[in-house]
Amino acid sequence: GESVGLHLPTLSVQEGDNSIINCAYSNSASDYFIWYKQESGKGPQFIIDIRSNMDKRQGQRVTVLLNKTVKHLSLQIAATQPGDSAVYFCAESIGGSVFGNEKLTFGTGTRLTIIP
Amino acid sequence: GAVVSQHPSWVICKSGTSVKIECRSLDFQATTMFWYRQFPKQSLMLMATSNEGSKATYEQGVEKDKFLINHASLTLSTLTVTSAHPEDSSFYICSALLGVAYEQYFGPGTRLTVT
């Protein structure tokens, strides 16, 4: 259900430093995970995804780590830039990478602020 | 490619009126679209799954008679908020699935304010 009244976790990082955003997912049956970036007043933007048969995946300046034992997901952003400032959400699904129409469950989100 | 648009981007309406929000996949066909609602500083909550040519599937707690969804073509799904009330004020976001790809492409959202 909705978490009324909670504040988004925030993370402030100096420009050029690396940032790590964490996410605890809820369903041990989830086998597909995605990180999204959402800027103010816009829809989510796909960053990177990972399937449960992997524990690490790298993209351009981003790395996602998956620890299924503790149901934890992290997003690492290297050499952060001002344009990285946004809210980051993790999302999970069951069968999403196979069936293509499985619904996503979004995490709470973390607001990342890059300090110039 | 894979662009999803929403119209309008923002709308203000009076309590008791109905508002229609459109979600279009501009350069691909989408048999499945999703509608989400996002309150300020909160996460996206799935409202319903919209399938072309069939009835939408609503999430628990979402009133299907209040949030009418129509997916009449492979590029257009509409969400109508009927008899809107101030508590319906929110950011409504749609997404569309590209064929059988696993990735959902999100629209830019529609800000609804009910006065």
- DSSP 3-state percent helix, strand, coil across chain A (nearest 5): 5, 50, 45
Q: Is the Cβ of B107 closer than 8 Å to some Cβ of chain A? A: yes
What pLDDT, on the 0 to 100 scale, is given for residue A97?
A: 57
How many Å from the N-terminal Cα to the C-terminal Cα in chain A?
37
Interface of A with B in 9-68 (CB under 8 A): 32, 34, 36, 41-46, 49
Average pLDDT over every residue of A36-56: 94
| DSSP character at residue A104 | P
Average pLDDT over every residue of A56-77: 96
Distance CA A51, CA B102 (A): 11
Share of chain A above pLDDT 70, in %: 88
Distance CA A3, CA B68 (A): 24
Share of chain A above pLDDT 90, in %: 75
pLDDT digits (tens, 9 = 90+) for B86-112: 999 999 999 998 765 567 899 999 999
- How far is A15 from chain B, CA to nearest CA, in Å? 24
- How far is A7 from chain B, CA to nearest CA, in Å? 7
For chains A and B, CB pairs below 8 A equal 64
Cis peptide upstream of residue B8 (ω within 30 degrees of 0): yes
Question: Would you say B92 and B107 are in contact if contact means Cβ atoms under 8 Å apart?
Answer: no
Distance CA B21, CA B32 (A): 16
Residue A86 reports pLDDT greater than 70: yes
**Six-digit token string for B37:** 């609602």
Residue A2 reports pLDDT greater than 60: no
Q: Is A83 helix (H, G, I), strand (E, B) or coil?
A: helix
Nearest Cα residue in chain B from A95: B102
Tokens 């959400």 label which residue? A89
Residue A111 reports pLDDT greater than 70: yes
Residue A5 reports pLDDT greater than 50: no
β-pairing, B10-13 vs B110-114, is parallel
The secondary structure of A49-75 as a DSSP string is EEETT-SEEE-SSEEEEEETTTTEEEE
A45 interaction partners in chain B (CB closer than 8 Å): 106
The residue ranges of chain B whose pLDDT is under 50 are none
How many Å from the N-terminal Cα to the C-terminal Cα in chain B?
37
Nearest Cα residue in chain B from A107: B43
What pLDDT, on the 0 to 100 scale, is given for residue B98?
A: 79
What pLDDT, on the 0 to 100 scale, is given for residue A98?
A: 58
B95 interaction partners in chain A (CB closer than 8 Å): 43
pLDDT digits (tens, 9 = 90+) for A9-44: 999 999 999 999 999 998 888 989 999 999 999 999
